[in-house]
Structure 1
Amino acid sequence: MIDSRLRRPLYVLVAAALALTGCSSDSDDGGTPEAADRTEAAEGTDPLPALPDDIALPIVFVHGFAGSAQQVESNAMRFVANGYPADRVVAYDHDGAGLDIPGYAAGLTEVVDETLAEFDAEQVYLIGHSRGTAVSNLFLGDPAQAAKVAKYVAIDGRPCPEPQIVPCIAPNQAQFPGQTHVEVATSKESFAAQYEFLVGEAPEVVDIVPQRDPVEISGRAVNFPANTGREATLDIWAIDSDTGARTGDEPHASVELGPDGEFGPIELESGAHYEYALSSDASPVVHHLYLQPYVRSSAFVRLLSSEPDGTIRQNTNIGDEHTALVISRMREWHSEGDADVLELSVDGGEPVDVITDFVGNGAIGLHVHDDVATPGESTLAKLPYFGEQPFQSGIDAYLPASPDADGTVTARNLPRGDADRPQTLNVPNWPSSGHTVSLVFADWAVDGA
C-alpha cells in the first residue's frame, strides 16, 4: 500500500499527463478546455506537491571515472519535477582521473556529514555510478558510515555490498538493454527505477518538460577530468540561435570565478540559447561553451574546461584557418547498431557525419578538428591521442574559420531512438589559434532545439 502522504491530488495527475502527452483538438477556439490545456502546457508546468522530508531524504550522488556532477543533472531535474526539494540533491565532485578510492571515500564522509548537518537529518540516500560504486562500497564498509545511509543505489559498477547492510538496488546495462554505461546513469528508465526504490512509488513525470517558474542555473567551471575549479571570468551571452552570434553589446551575466569555479544562481530565459565564455588575464585563449537550452532549473551545470596549456589543447591541432570543437553528451555516442547522426557544416555547406565506425559505442566527448597530417581536408580519420583517453574519440574534420568568427558552424544531432527530434547548435567559426569551442548536447530528447 502506498503511504497516504505520497498521494497527489487528481488535478495534479491530469496536469502532469497533459504536460507530458500534449492535447489535441480539431477546434481552434481559444475558449475551449482543450485550447486552455495547450496554452498551459506551452507556458510550462509546476512541480508536483513537495514530498515530506522524511520521505525525501537528502540524496548524495558519487560520479565515476572521468565523471562529474553533470551525470546527475538530468535525473535531478526529474526528481524535482516529481516534488523532490531541489536543494536535497547533492553531488560529490572529486578527481575523475585518479584512483585514490580510500581518499575519495574519506571525502564522501565529509560530504555526507555536511549534508546531514545542513538538513538536520539522520540519514541520506546514496547513489554511486561506475567507479563511484567502489567509493560508496568502501564507505559503506564502515558500520558507522553505513548507519548514515537509508538506501543505496549502485549504478552499473560494483554490485550491492554483501551482506547488504543497507537496502540496495544495482541498475545496470543488463537491466536496460541497449543502454550504455553512462546512459544508465542519466536515462529516464533508470531514473524511474531509482525513484521508485527511494520514494516508494513510481514517478509521475519521467520526461524533462518545461517549468513554469523562471529558469535558474548554478554550477561550476572545472578543469576536466580532475574537477578542480577553473578560476576565470565567466561571461554569459545571449545569442542568435540561427547563427550563434551574440545579440547584444553586454553579456547577460558576468561572474568572476574563484578557485572553486562556482557560479549562480543566474536566471535564464527558458529555451533560449547562450554562450558561456571563460577567459583570464593569464592566457589569450578563450573557451566558448554552447549548451543545449535550459527549460528547467539546474544546480549541476558543469562547464568542463581545462587550462589553456593543458593536455587537451596540447594535442589539438590549432591554427588561424580552422575551428576545433569538443562535442559532448552524457549519453554515449553510438556508431554501431542503432547509431546517432552528428552532422557538421559551415555556412550551409555540405554536412559531414562525424560519427564514424571507430567512435564505437563508448565515447562521450568527441574532439573534432583539422588533422595536421591532412590540412584542409575532412578525411574523418581517427585523430591521435584522443581515442586512447577514457570515453573520448577524435575525428579529422576541416571546419573553415574566419578571423572575426562571422561564419557559422552548424552541429545537427539526430539522436538514436529519437531521430525525428533533431537537436541543433549553431556557433561562430572561431579560429582555433585563440579559441577553444565546446558544444554540449542534452542527454534527453529536446523538442524545437
Structure 2
Amino acid sequence: MQSRRTLLAMAVIGTAATAMLTACATSSSPSPSYAERPPIVFVHGNGDSAALWQTTIWRFESNGWPADRLFAFDQPNPLARDDDAVAQPGRSSTAESAVFLKAQVDKVLKATGASKVVLIGNSRGGNTIRNYVQNGGGAAVVSHVVLGGNPAHGIWAVKGFRENNEFSGLSGFMQQLNAPKGPDGQEVTPGVKWMTLRSDNNDKYAQPDGVWIGAPGKPTNIGFDGPALKGATNVVLPRVDHRETSFSPAAFAATWQFLSGEAPRTTAVVPDTKVVLDGRAIGAENLALNGAQVTIYAVDPATGARRGEAAHTKSVGADGRWGPFNARGDTAYEFVLSAPGYGTTHIYRSPFPRSGGFVHLRPERVTPADNGASSVVVFTRPRGYFDAQRDTMRFDGKSPPPGVPPKGAGVATSRLRLEGGGAPRAVTGEFNGERITGLTWPAAQEHVTVLELTY
C-alpha cells in the first residue's frame, strides 16, 4: 500500500491529554470571533443515528461553538446495501446517501445564511461525504472535512469477495473515489481542507486479518492505515477503537485544532445550569416509532429504583419526538419505551450534564436466544467498543462482560440472561468510571433492561 503522510496526534484519551492541550492553549493566539464559526454538519455511520454525536456536540458547545451552528441528522435506512447496485429493503445505496446529505446541507445553508459548511463524518458517513463533495456539488459549499474511522480504501479488497459492496476496496464506487486527482495524485477533492482520524492498530475495520468480517486468518489486503488519504492531514490516535476515532475526547481535540488552529480549552463536557432533553423514538431504519409511548422516571443511581411518579410522559407522533423534557443535570433517569411490535424497553442512563436534542431511544426485543431467561439486561456503549486489554469494566460483577473477547475492540454490547425469576433486582454496568444501575424486568412479558453508557 502506498505510503501516506501521517501525524501522531498529541491528544490521547484521559486527563493527561486535557492537561497537555490546556497548556498549549494558554500560549496560542485568540481564536476568531464565535460569530464567525461556520455551521458544522455531523454525518453518522453505517446503521447508526445522529444520537452518537451528542457528546461531540456538547464538547463543541463547551468550547464556545454556537449551538445553533451544530447540526446532525438521522439518515433513513442507514445500513449499506450488500450490493450497492441492487435495491434492498431497509438499506440505502451510496447515491441515496449522498442525495440525503446534499438536502441536509442545503437546509443548513438556507437556515444559517452561511456560504460554506464543515462536514464531520464517522465510518460510512465518510464515504457519503466524499461522494457528495466529489460528485454531488459539495466542493463548492464545503470548507473543511473531518473523517473519523472512514474505510477510505475499503474494509477488504479481495477478488471475488463481495466486490460490489460499498466497503470493498475493489468496488467501482471506491475506485472512483480514490482515483488520483491532480499532478500529485491526491485522493481528496481539491479546494477543500481534509483531515482523517484513525487508530494506530485498534480499529476493527482497518485490520489486515479478516477476523471482524467473519473470515479469521484470511488477509483483507487493507492495512491499519486504510483510513488515511493522500492529500489529507492524516492523524493517528493511539489505541482508540473504530467509533472512538470520532466520538472520543482525543478525536474532538484533534478536530478542534484542525478547524480553529488552536487546542480546545477543554475536552470535558461543561455542565449547563438548565438541562432540556429531547430526541426521537426510532427503529433500526431511523424511522419514527409512531404510536410509541415514552415515560421517564428519576431513579436512585445506586439501586435503579424509581424516585416518585413519572417525571415526563408522551405519546410519540409521526416525527418520533418524545420531548422536550426539563431534566436535572444531577439526576439519573430511566426511559421507558413501549412500542407496538417491540414490547417494553427500560433504558437507564447516567445524568445528563447539558441540554441535548439527540437523546434517541431505540427499542430492544426479547429474542429466541433469550428463551428460558427470567430477565434480559443489555449493557451497551454506543460511542465506542469494549476492550478487555484497555478498559476497566464490569457487568453484574463479571469482568470482562459476557461476550466481550479477551483481545481486540470489536464488541459494543454485552447481553446478560438471568434465570430464576423472583423480585426485580439491581444490575450494574461499569466502564472506565461511568457506572449505571438499573432494575431487571420480566422477559416473559416482553420487557428488556438496557444500561446505556454516555461516554
Q: Is TM more than 0.5 here?
A: yes
- Which runs of no fewer than 5 residues in structure 2 stay unpaired? 1-14, 20-29, 82-92, 153-185, 201-235
Native 8 Å contact 2:289 2:320 kept in 1: yes
| 1:218-266 deviations in Å (ceiling 9; x for gaps) | 2112113x212222111111122222122223x1011121133123331
Distance 1:98 1:284 in 2: 24
Aligned to 1:430: 441
Unaligned 5+ residue runs, structure 1?
1-16, 22-47, 307-311, 346-350, 370-397, 416-421, 444-449
Identify if the C-alpha distance between structure 1 residues 215 and 221 changes in structure 2 by more than 3 Å, giving closer, same or farther.
same
Work out whether 1:270 is the aligned partner of 2:321: no
Structure 2 residue corresponding to 1:295, chosen from 324, 341, 353 = 353
Q: More deviation in 168-177 or 88-97?
A: 88-97
Contact 1:125 1:152 in 2 (8 A): yes
Which residue of 2 is the match for residue 59 of structure 1? 40
Cα contact 2:379–2:429 (8 A) shared by 1? no
Tell me whether 1:165 sits opposite 2:182 in the alignment.
no
Partner of 2:256 in structure 1?
195
TM-score by length of 2: 0.70
The equivalent position to 2:299 in structure 1, one of 195, 219, 239, is 239
* 8 Å CA contact retained: 2:139, 2:189: no
Output the amino acid matched with 1:72.
W
In the TM superposition, residue 52 of structure 1 has moved relative to its aligned partner by 2.7
| C-alpha distance in 2 between matches for 1:201 and 1:78 | 15
Q: Is the 8 A contact 1:341 1:355 kept in 2?
A: no
**Aligned 8 A contact 1:57 1:88 in 2:** yes
Letter in 2 for 1:365: T
**Partner deviation per Cα, 1:153-204 (whole Å, 9 max, x = no partner):** 1112145852433111111113011111001111111101111212232210
* Residue pair 1:323, 1:429 contacting (<8 A) in 2 also: yes
**Number of residues of Structure 1 aligned to a counterpart in Structure 2:** 345
Letter in 2 for 1:173: S
Letter in structure 2 aligned against 1:297: S
1:361-440 pair list within 5 angstroms? 361-369=409-417, 398=418, 400-402=420-422, 406-415=423-432, 422-434=433-445, 435-440=447-452
Aligned counterparts of 2:296 and 2:260: Cα–Cα separation in 1: 37
Matches for 1:10-409 after TM superposition, within 5 Å: 51-54=33-36, 56-94=37-75, 95-99=77-81, 100-142=93-135, 144-159=137-152, 161-174=187-200, 175-211=236-272, 213-224=273-284, 226-231=285-290, 232-249=292-309, 251-280=310-339, 282=340, 285-305=343-363, 312-319=365-372, 322-329=374-381, 330-335=383-388, 337-344=389-396, 353-355=400-402, 358=405, 360-369=408-417, 398=418, 400-402=420-422, 406-409=423-426
Name the SS of the counterpart of 2:443 in structure 1: coil
Q: Distance in 2 between matches of 1:219 and 1:161?
A: 37
Q: Distance in 2 between matches of 1:283 and 1:67?
A: 21
1:303 CA displacement: 1.3
Note closer, same or farther for the CA distance 1:361–1:442 as it changes in structure 2 (3 Å cut). same
TM-superposed deviation, 1:143: 6.5
Contact 1:59-1:126 at 8 Å conserved across structures: yes
Q: Distance in 1 between matches of 2:421 and 2:430?
A: 21
Contact 1:399 1:409 in 2 (8 A): no
The structure-2 alpha-carbon separation of the partners of 1:284 and 1:116, relative to structure 1 and needing over 3 Å to count, comes to closer
Q: Aligned letter for 2:426?
A: V
Cα gap change, 1:49 to 1:368, in 2 (>3 Å): farther
User: Does structure 2 retain, via aligned residues, the 8 Å contact 1:67–1:96?
Assistant: yes
Indicate how the Cα distance of structure 1 residues 196 and 313 shifts in structure 2: closer, same or farther if over 3 A, else same.
Answer: same
Q: CA RMSD in A?
A: 2.6
Task: For residues 294-337 of structure 1, give each alpha carbon's deviation from its aligned partner in whole angstroms, at most 9, with x where no partner exists.
Answer: 1122222121225xxxxx53344145x621122211111012x2
Contact 1:401 1:429 in 2 (8 A): no
CA apart distance, 1:82: 0.7
Q: Residues 124 and 358 from structure 1, CA distance in 2 versus in 1: closer, same or farther, beyond 3 angstroms?
A: same
Displacement of 1:357 in angstroms is 5.5
Structure 1 segments, 4+ long, off by >6 Å, are none
